[in-house]
Structure 1
Amino acid sequence: MRRFAPRLLACALMGAGAAQASPFTVDQLLAQQRLGPVSVDPSQRWLVVPTTGPYDSAPRWDLEDLTPMTITRLSVFDLRKGGAPRVFPSNAGSPEAWGYNPGPYAPSGAKMAVTRARSGSLEVGILNLTDGAVVWTGLFPVTDVMGRSLQWRSDDVLLVLAKDPATPTTAGVVGPPAEQRLIDRWRATRENRVGVTVMGSGRYLDQTPALPPSRLVAVDATRGLGQVLAQGDFFDLEVAPGGRFVGLLSNGPPLAPDPSVPAMTTDPFRRHRLTVVDLVAGGAWSPCPSCDVAVDLLAWSPGGAGLLVYARGDNDPWSAARYWRIDALTRRAAPLHDRDITPMAETTGYGSRVPRADWMSETPVVLGRRGDASQDGADWFAWGAKAPLNLTAALPPGPRRLEATGPAGIVASQGGRLWRIDPLGRATLLGAGRSLQGAGLPGGERLVFNNRPRPEDLALMLDDGPRPTPVVLDKARLRPLGLDAPTDETLLLVAGQARAAVTLKQDAHGVETVLLRRAGQAPQALATLNAHLAQVDFSAPRAVSHLGPRGETLTSWLYMPTTPPSGAKVPLVVIPYPGKVYPTAPTSQGPPARQLYLNLQILAGAGYAVLLPSLPVDTRREPAEGLADRILAAADAAATVEPRLDLNRMGLWGHSYGGYAVLSAAAQSRQFKAVIAGAFAADLASHYTRKSLLATVAPDAAVEIMVGAGWMEQGQGRMGAPPWVDPDRYVRNSPLLHADRITAPVMLVMGDLDSDPGQALTMFGALFRQNKDAVSLQYHGETHVIMTAANVADFHRRLLAFLRDNLGTSPGS
């Protein structure tokens, strides 16, 4: 097992100039380390830097995309006293100690909640940052993707939303719970017990089972012992300031789809309910039992009694939703209402509704608009006792973002400029700039959209001067921190009280150094990652300009082999993804190139040129219409930029919607000589209903039927209607039904825990029936992306062999 590489960059690169450069390979990909979310505690004494060991050193692989958590260790730096960091655990990745992963800090900053891998899930522990003691609780939290599963009530009590580790979920680890449930059902049938999974629709909707209840547990931070305070299908919590109340969001009764309304990918299967628990007097209260409460907003007032949520009546559309003000002391709840102001939520491209609200002292601040103004005309309103006051009326036109809020007003950003606004709506321009991560640890989706800091806790980067300047607000004035912010480094966080910043410096080979920068001091290297890449050459992107479907100018990106032979023709692999537009080269494909799948640097290292084409969605056309022509137009433009490209040896590689795209294009042109499609849909009619193992055995986790319908009707599928309404459109856009036109050899790749793994066998069967050249790879225990190191290595070995067989390679590669 590899050890971590704690050496500083200077040591790691000693003697590097004499070594010969090498191309990037899958072995170097799997040996990579990763940097986790760097954070500083509320007191700004403790700086925590999470890093992993080499990816392929993980001791277990049942946590899927959470696998790096098994090899993560925390380096804790004392910003007051200095000195060497303490590392937890010291032997991460060994059978005796899985990795520690950071969680929320206690209010004083002296303790941190942490998690470690146990029983196919994550166990909660409490790390004392002062003395290094760790207490494990035996509790397994629900996923915190939507908000919080852990939050401190005080320095002595941690609240946990705990679940049975075997409970399945669509937002966390998928495989082990689903696999175990299937085995249990098989065993039950063999033993003459009932082995059945039930789902219901229409009058039988309530026959679909619900998840076992989770528990709200108060944990003694010293002993690790817990007390159950409430039970329910809870998935998010927020503790009120002062610690008396906690708001909980839970899954409610099943929600029947409306056949007359087009489905969206984000349509929920269950209603959401709000519960308020009094942690002092005891007891729980449902402020609006017949309200369907939106996720992404649970905002307590600074006084600890007022709560803001966004909700609709059970029988109302979301267009009728309102912000609700709840008084936990008097147990009163009422919607915010004004006949001239329409409170609103933002709508994402996937159709989900994101409410935006907070508090300015004890006054709600919500996003709204006057009359029939568009969403771009939305403003922030202080919802006082008399009438709503438009706080952002004086700002220039354009979307306004709330950055911070407190008793003295708010800080908002608009068009790259920052404004301080007092409670009367008087705005003062602070300058051009942006907000930065300050103290604390970023959380789930709700905390990203809402949960703004106080102005005095806000860290800002001003861009007005000759170079970016980190500042903080000090009594409504900007106070520079005297910190360097080099433009060739990524600023990770700013600790204003400690006058410190943490940056990430990366060289051309992908070697990364985490640096601590303090006013008046030389930068201190905290960690160096991926020193093994010091002699690796990565392919640099070259811009390729061409026209789009509406005559617009687009930029695609070409990557040549890292050691192309002089004058020789080079085979080209195109990686298309309809809807992707690349104004700049994607950083994910540059050094250190961490993508486990669709990693073009591995192809470039093996002697292939790679093209990432910009393919904006053309709503005038059906999804598959003209795909090959658009891909070939980008390839022709690339050949103009680089004459060494051999367009007679051109392949396609796509994943997910890109996998669908390459199969569609392969049925439209003989120009392609090899096609690799992963995690794809080939038969859109059958893909309308997902058939994953999770959906089959665990409908209580969340029925995936509407996810497939939403993807097909209003999502990427762009069918606009179910297949029984417009079957011809499904036929025209399904690669399966045009398999007779595919002439290129095809490699099909699928994980059997993906959302619809049967698509691979369906497409393979069509090619097999016609005796066409095809290979089907089904990786067992994998989901939408192949994650296990052995399978990643196996796939790339087969991928390169397939390309060599059909495209050849560059001479000398």
Structure 2
Amino acid sequence: MRHFAWLALACGLATSSPADGQAFSVEDLLSLEELGRTAFSPDGRWLVFEIQGPWKSAPRFDQDFLIGAAASRLMLLDLTDRGPARALLRGLAGDGETFGAFSPDGARLIVFRQRGHARELGVVTLASGAVAWSGRLVEPELWFAQARWRDNREVVAISRPLEAQARLAGLGWLAGERLQQAWAAGARGEISVTALGSGRFSGVNAPASTASLVAIDGVSGAVRDLTQGAFSDLMVAPGGRTAALIEDGERTQPSTSSTMRVGYPPRRLRLVMVDLVSGKRTIPCPRCDLIRGTWTWSPKGDAVAVAARPDGDGWSGYGYWRLAANGTAKPLAPDLTLGDTGGRDPRPMPGLAWLGRDPFVLARGGGTPRQDWWRLDGRRAVKLTGTIAEPQGPAVMITARGFVIRSAEGLQRIGADGRLARFAPSTASLDAPADLLPGEPRATRMLSQDGERRLLGSNGERSAPLDLPAKAQILAASQAWGGVAVTTTDPHGVGSLQVIRPGAPARAVATINSALADKAFATPEAIRHRGLVEAELTSWLYLPPVLPTAGLKGLIVVPYPGARYARPPVAAEPGSRSFDTNVQLMVAAGYAVIVPSLPMARDREPMPGLAEAMLLAVDAAIATHPVLKDKPLAVWGQSYGGYGALAAGVQSSRFSAIVASAPITNLLSYYGAIHPEALASPALITMPSELGWAENGQGAMGGPPWSAPDKYLRNSPGLQSDKIGAPVLLIYGDLDMDLGQVTTLFSSLLRQGKDAQLLLYRGESHVVMSPGNVRDLYARVFAFLDAALPGSALAPATPGGAPTPATVSPSPSAMRPSQ
């Protein structure tokens, strides 16, 4: 049917019809709801899930990725009856509700309420709904554990006062507030300086942010202060007597010969043991520098196995250590070393499990590059996987009786006795629930094999096949209940949460975005084509489902260098909260859109050939749909995609308009740029990692600017603005990484008298998120495209329906702290 419609369009006969559905709009985007974290209680009685209300209903928009959580409500489903889900908490309007870990018996749950900028921890008893609020503030658990159960009643948590919030809880608002405080101090004649140091002057740098380790009674809310330190992650021992914590130590100082990589730790990471009765703290190895996320307690709770090294440089020198609660430390199998991930930006690839008496590790031995799993029995290292293809990464499932690993031969299981057994063929996959808390054991998985999907138990037992909807995403799995919670999204973006177990009908739990049911969305069409790096690629074309009466306005290319899309990009699906380059909004505005696969070779510089690679996808789409042949091309990219958009404009005259939001334009000036939030809060500076972006991350320069200045120059589109012939629209948030990336390019274009606009959004960071700014952004971009693309009547500089410059700035009473 679509091909007949496009034939009609080519002949100028197509018209739109209300029966085709209403076009998706910016207001629809801002009204989208979202399912947050979902989890079963350990006893299998309860399902708890977060529903984030419409984006524009959030109480404030200066909290970056926490904006959605601030509009979240917690819901509780009793799996022992057929009643509907109900609200778990009786919070005040404007409180955002999220949750953490269940107590071991499943009777209680850690919950958080976001009130203003404060994120307070509480404990709710699920059966009664009674809540004990602690009065203590805790960071979001995006990467690291912040609150865990000591037993069925007491919670151990890392807590910070509001003014000392670390990077996540302070995103957005804290930088603006501290800048205002500094400006006010300067106005009063007081000190308002940020001091940074290097080499002999490193001592002027701010220390890491200090936190308190506290124990909270889950019934009364009473708090015991245990100790203080620059803590960032925790793990409670079996039995609950001791907590292991990662503490941020002194700043790292890379040597001039070291290879800088993304993720290079900005500080040494130390392990601290804290007695949860007395609060006594012990550092078993004061000079051991840890790798985050690779640690595990012994089943007895007397020691932790970690991946660590004596203080060193770069990513080298890591091995495995045993750090005991009594303060002793010793290396485990010193002859074994960690392997790495390979690729352009290799990083250490540790793997750990501790079953019974012995730890098991993934490591290289005997000076070979191959990685194997080893059992460390206290006397020697025993290789366990030498008879199979090389293991592929850490364990994918760990239980008390064994763990599952991947190899080219399929899934293998290693038991607590060290025996290796084939678990599933290479055609099988093992899927994890979507939102595990950091550090949660990988103990429940979904096995997909021979067209069937089964739940795996802790001992490797398999359930009867589960009848899951097509494209269902597994949010949570429960061995105790014997089933899963899944979400599905229909072609209109209407989402459904269901619980399913073998032999029983699916149970509907919640529906979101029902208002999208009458909206028309573009469906992705695969475009097969050759590439510069790979012989065969798939890109994705989106055509308007409701044919524009006046015909297509043009074809927009949405690039992201390095991306390879075997499946349609998730951000372009109906119902996706995509605020930067929203494909469905572009289609609704009358454009065809192509999202090209742009893989990059490891040994090539990032900029050469980008336009050619994009145009290979464009020409393949034109060959499939000749109606696109005479349509003007625009390119619109976000972040590294903005870099790609500008590179395309430098390299090809086929693009008639360029939109670049949050782009990198100048690799020389971007090298080592310091984020405004880090300058406002110097304890948060992650300098070595930022240098790694340019040297071996997406920048791919292979070294610092002084080692190859010409390389930096020829890969910086902003330093080649004389080659840009198309009109350019630059978009940036004043809290993003480096405002100079767009101001210098805009000034260069202005100097040459070229058509350009710069939109600077106050109080925004890497993605524009405030509803008023989102509305303004799309109004201005579409007006810019209308004016810039050939065949369009020249529109006025201020887009129709968008605020004029005189009304863009809010009144003093409406100013947010970050403005």
Distance 1:416 1:89, change over 3 A: farther
CA distance in 2, matches of 1:752, 1:536: 34
* Contact 1:613/1:634, CA 8 A, preserved across alignment: yes
Give the alignment's TM-score, normalised by structure 1: 0.90
Describe the SS at the equivalent of 1:324.
strand
CA distance in 1, matches of 2:341, 2:300: 27
Describe the SS at the equivalent of 2:68.
helix
Moved more, 694-703 or 563-572: 563-572
The one-letter code sitting in structure 2 at the alignment partner of 1:372 is: G
The one-letter code sitting in structure 2 at the alignment partner of 1:577 is: Y
Equivalent residue, structure 1, for 2:59? 59
**1:784: how far off?**
0.6
Equivalent residue, structure 2, for 1:639? 622
Describe the SS at the equivalent of 1:271.
strand
CA distance in 1, matches of 2:534, 2:300: 56
Report matched runs for 1:568-607 at 5 Å: 568=551, 571-607=554-590
* Contact 1:666/1:675, CA 8 A, preserved across alignment: yes
**1:396: how far off?**
3.8
Cα offsets for 1:452-503 (capped at 9, x unmatched): 43xxxx3432413x533334355x6x34246423444333333222223222
* Contact 1:61/1:67, CA 8 A, preserved across alignment: yes
CA distance in 2, matches of 1:502, 1:196: 51
CA distance in 1, matches of 2:617, 2:340: 39
* Contact 2:61/2:67, CA 8 A, preserved across alignment: yes
Equivalent residue, structure 2, for 1:751? 733
Equivalent residue, structure 1, for 2:455? 470
CA distance in 2, matches of 1:187, 1:551: 56
Moved more, 410-419 or 730-739: 410-419
Describe the SS at the equivalent of 1:166.
helix
Distance 1:338 1:670, change over 3 A: closer
Describe the SS at the equivalent of 2:182.
helix
**1:532: how far off?**
0.7
Equivalent residue, structure 2, for 1:389? 382
**1:129: how far off?**
0.7
**1:691: how far off?**
4.0
Equivalent residue, structure 2, for 1:735? 717
The structure 2 residue matched to 1:460, chosen from 424, 446, 460, is 446
* Contact 1:672/1:744, CA 8 A, preserved across alignment: yes
The structure 1 residue matched to 2:396, chosen from 375, 399, 403, is 403
The one-letter code sitting in structure 2 at the alignment partner of 1:777 is: L
The structure 2 residue matched to 1:443, chosen from 434, 437, 440, is 437
The one-letter code sitting in structure 2 at the alignment partner of 1:804 is: D
Q: Given the alignment of the two structures, is residue 103 of structure 1 paired with residue 86 of structure 2, yes or no?
A: no
**1:171: how far off?**
4.2
Describe the SS at the equivalent of 1:295.
strand
CA distance in 1, matches of 2:118, 2:714: 43
The one-letter code sitting in structure 2 at the alignment partner of 1:314 is: D
The one-letter code sitting in structure 2 at the alignment partner of 1:41 is: S
The one-letter code sitting in structure 2 at the alignment partner of 1:313 is: P
CA distance in 2, matches of 1:102, 1:407: 26
CA distance in 2, matches of 1:60, 1:551: 45
Distance 1:313 1:206, change over 3 A: same
Moved over 6 A (4+): 808-811
The one-letter code sitting in structure 1 at the alignment partner of 2:27 is: D
Report matched runs for 1:171-570 at 5 Å: 171-315=168-312, 318-329=315-326, 331-337=327-333, 339=335, 341-344=336-339, 346=341, 350-374=345-369, 377-399=370-392, 401-406=394-399, 408-415=401-408, 417-432=410-425, 433-437=428-432, 442-444=436-438, 447=440, 451-453=441-443, 458-464=444-450, 466-472=451-457, 478-481=461-464, 483-550=466-533, 552-564=535-547, 568=551
* Contact 2:693/2:699, CA 8 A, preserved across alignment: yes
Cα offsets for 1:513-560 (capped at 9, x unmatched): 111224443322100111111111211122222222246111211111
- In structure 2, runs of 5+ residues without a counterpart are 1-16, 794-819
Equivalent pairs counted in the alignment come to 775
Cα offsets for 1:657-714 (capped at 9, x unmatched): 11112112212222111110011122221111314322322221124x4343211111
CA distance in 1, matches of 2:508, 2:532: 49
The structure 2 residue matched to 1:670, chosen from 650, 653, 666, is 653
CA distance in 1, matches of 2:84, 2:472: 23
Moved more, 236-245 or 118-127: 118-127
The one-letter code sitting in structure 2 at the alignment partner of 1:662 is: A
Describe the SS at the equivalent of 1:36.
strand
Moved more, 563-572 or 311-320: 563-572
* Contact 1:571/1:808, CA 8 A, preserved across alignment: no
Equivalent residue, structure 2, for 1:85? 85
Distance 1:103 1:407, change over 3 A: closer
Q: Given the alignment of the two structures, is residue 30 of structure 1 paired with residue 30 of structure 2, yes or no?
A: yes
Distance 1:159 1:425, change over 3 A: closer
Equivalent residue, structure 1, for 2:808? none
Moved more, 345-354 or 111-120: 345-354
CA distance in 2, matches of 1:595, 1:541: 16
CA distance in 2, matches of 1:177, 1:683: 28
**1:64: how far off?**
1.3
**1:258: how far off?**
1.2
CA distance in 1, matches of 2:76, 2:160: 29
* Contact 1:127/1:134, CA 8 A, preserved across alignment: yes
Moved more, 393-402 or 636-645: 393-402
CA distance in 1, matches of 2:465, 2:527: 41
The one-letter code sitting in structure 2 at the alignment partner of 1:778 is: L
The one-letter code sitting in structure 2 at the alignment partner of 1:77 is: L
Equivalent residue, structure 2, for 1:7? none
Distance 1:84 1:544, change over 3 A: closer
Describe the SS at the equivalent of 2:725.
coil
* Contact 2:445/2:477, CA 8 A, preserved across alignment: yes
**1:315: how far off?**
4.0
Describe the SS at the equivalent of 1:534.
helix
* Contact 1:51/1:74, CA 8 A, preserved across alignment: yes
Describe the SS at the equivalent of 2:684.
coil
Describe the SS at the equivalent of 2:337.
strand
**1:609: how far off?**
0.6
Distance 1:436 1:625, change over 3 A: closer
**1:256: how far off?**
1.2
Identity over aligned pairs, percent: 35
CA distance in 2, matches of 1:33, 1:306: 44
Equivalent residue, structure 1, for 2:766? 784
**1:50: how far off?**
1.3
Cα offsets for 1:559-579 (capped at 9, x unmatched): 112223599565101011111
Equivalent residue, structure 2, for 1:8? none
* Contact 1:692/1:757, CA 8 A, preserved across alignment: no
The structure 1 residue matched to 2:679, chosen from 689, 696, 705, is 696
The one-letter code sitting in structure 1 at the alignment partner of 2:330 is: A
Give the CA RMSD over aligned residues.
2.5
* Contact 2:32/2:577, CA 8 A, preserved across alignment: yes
The one-letter code sitting in structure 2 at the alignment partner of 1:734 is: S
Equivalent residue, structure 2, for 1:149? 146
CA distance in 1, matches of 2:681, 2:424: 52
Report matched runs for 1:650-661 at 5 Å: 650-661=633-644
**1:237: how far off?**
0.6
CA distance in 2, matches of 1:633, 1:708: 33
Describe the SS at the equivalent of 1:667.
helix
* Contact 1:731/1:737, CA 8 A, preserved across alignment: yes
- In structure 1, runs of 5+ residues without a counterpart are 1-16
The one-letter code sitting in structure 2 at the alignment partner of 1:194 is: I
CA distance in 2, matches of 1:589, 1:441: 21
**1:140: how far off?**
1.2
The one-letter code sitting in structure 2 at the alignment partner of 1:547 is: R
The one-letter code sitting in structure 2 at the alignment partner of 1:723 is: P
* Contact 2:107/2:125, CA 8 A, preserved across alignment: yes
Distance 1:691 1:311, change over 3 A: closer
CA distance in 1, matches of 2:231, 2:642: 36
* Contact 1:545/1:554, CA 8 A, preserved across alignment: yes
Describe the SS at the equivalent of 2:659.
strand
**1:145: how far off?**
3.2
* Contact 1:568/1:644, CA 8 A, preserved across alignment: no
